[in-house]
A and B are shown apart, each in its own frame.
Chain A
């Protein structure tokens, strides 16, 4: 499978066409039951993956480490304009929870938090995508097929959290070093955080979680003994814009 896939990549000359291929999607893109994409013994599986952000442990330094880990691993370019790409980024509490903040919440309001895709239970981005390039895996991860995306950006309009980015340019133009482990994208497609699905499939935790020094917890929401569930039992937590009914799976422990 692996070698034939590699051959396939070479043969099709995807690189020349400016396409990219994401190994973790190769199976999942073929919409099928869980069996098709569960690839190995070591794969971590879950009914619904979720993340808990321990805001007490979030220092600038920790956050930067998380972002760095994510953006280098996924070849996310650094672009200095509002046509930029963000998978994981810093946003003050006030912006993330403007509906739950008030003028007298002074300290809290300006506190920097991490923001990312919420991997919604009822994701509007999946609903609006005209090509199923955005889809939800059975384990709750909202994934993207970069080859299928036509760049209509409907998903960007659909996401109420500003979690999606568009490749206005060829991202390779802005990448100083490439991580060959993960594909680069082409211009004209949308991308976002994917809960490191490709790492979970190899039995590893998301890169940001590993880099976070305990500030980010990750686990199966349906497993009452998971880190995330334990944290949610013990701490007060918020999710972004709960009233929209999207069912975000990133929790902020306050």
Chain B
């Protein structure tokens, strides 16, 4: 089936070369990081995780979202998703690959990566995160490939794949839960020390992932001239708006707990996130943009008429991605480390090489995604022709 990836028009190849160019620049920056160390990033003694880990956290959510189509399709026999499901599974593959690349980019000694397997430490959540992420990557590769292949032959997927499909449902939940536990169980990091960490991760994931899928579905419709189907897009739109509402509700709950209790340990982090601390208000500005974008998107999407207008839907999905990305990609990690254990504000701003490496990993993800989508859509078109 892979041969479908090498037959494309100018636009397709132009896009691939554009991505490759970004990857090339990022690779240069990464070589610099390998040689000089993480000192070329904006990370510091107090904010020891930054942009890489934040992207990883955001993308785990995107990966987990495939389950929002697997559940209706296989547990409730919602046929409309059958058409589009493969796009969800392939998005998961691209997203998990990016997650793993971001973890590796964040390591101070990447050549020792295998130590995690050589000296397995079940006490460490990072150990489990590696397992669930790689497992989820494997599951989606397997399920995606096998189902697409049988679709091409126009036969029903083999029976043996069903247990894997069912397994992928709790597994998707697990990747996000385990990632949330990376943060949630640390003493002295009060911003993260909350039981709603995993639920809130899932809520924002089920908004962000499907929102991205809708946009990708619409892009496929425009660029590849293949329609993933109105019904599935509409069903996804409903999932997005409800998940986003739950996400915003959980944010409100967390803010209430911090501000009403007025316990400094918790409060300062939220002050930093929403009001600014010691005059540092950059992040607060972003946070309010995130809230505003989220609320506006929900208000728009609650109205079925808006959901049906594809351009309005696309606009709202962009708002939701912006909102959830700021929440995970900027707020979550920074506000967890600031103020530091001595209650001092030490800031973190990503540097240029750090941004280039980040961009390159995103480009690699989109490269994987483009090629996989090219194959999937090629097969779909072939059957329908």
Contacts and interface: CB of A to CB of B under 8 A. Distances in A.
| A and B associate in one complex | yes
Interface stretch (A5-13, A158-166, A220-228): A158-166
Contacts of A166: 38, 43, 45, 48, 108
B186 interface: yes
A184 to B, nearest CB: 14
B119 A132 contact: yes
Interface in A90-122: 91, 95-96, 98-99
A3 to B, nearest CB: 27
B37 interface: yes
A126 B186 CA distance: 12
A168 B37 contact: yes
B126 A130 contact: yes
Interface stretch (A36-44, A79-87, A175-183): A79-87
B71 interface: no
A156 B126 CA distance: 13
Interface string B114-138: 0110110101111100100000000
A236 B11 CA distance: 75
Contact of B107 (A159, A188, A244): A188
Contact of A131 (B48, B115, B264): B115
A150 B186 contact: no
Chain B at the A interface: mostly helix, strand, loop or mixed? loop
Interface residues of B, number: 46
B186 to A, nearest CB: 5
Interface in A152-203: 152-154, 156-162, 165-170, 186-190
B342 to A, nearest CB: 4
B188 A98 contact: no
A85 B45 CA distance: 8
A162 B128 CA distance: 25
B308 interface: no
B109 A244 contact: no
A246 interface: yes
Interface residues of A, number: 49
A84 B189 contact: no
A62 B17 CA distance: 62
Contacts of B124: 127-130, 154
A152 B187 CA distance: 18
A151 interface: yes
Contacts of A27: none
Nearest to A17: B111
A176 to B, nearest CB: 19
Contact of B43 (A83, A131, A189, A245): A83
B37 A167 contact: yes
Contacts of A158: 186-187
A53 interface: no
B112 A148 contact: yes
18 contacts: A82-B346, A83-B43, A124-B188, A127-B124, A133-B115, A150-B108, A150-B116, A152-B106, A154-B126, A157-B49, A158-B186, A160-B187, A166-B48, A169-B39, A186-B109, A244-B187, A244-B188, A245-B187
Given A95-B342, A96-B342, A149-B112, 5 more contacts: A130-B115, A159-B341, A160-B187, A188-B107, A188-B108
Interface of B: 36-39, 41, 43-46, 48-49, 103, 106-110, 112-113, 115-116, 118-119, 121, 123-127, 130, 182-183, 186-189, 264-265, 336-337, 340-344, 346
Interface of A: 81-86, 91, 95-96, 98-99, 124, 126-133, 148-154, 156-162, 165-170, 186-190, 241, 244-246
Top 8 A-B pairs, shortest CB-CB distance: A151-B108, A160-B188, A188-B108, A168-B39, A187-B37, A95-B342, A82-B44, A130-B126
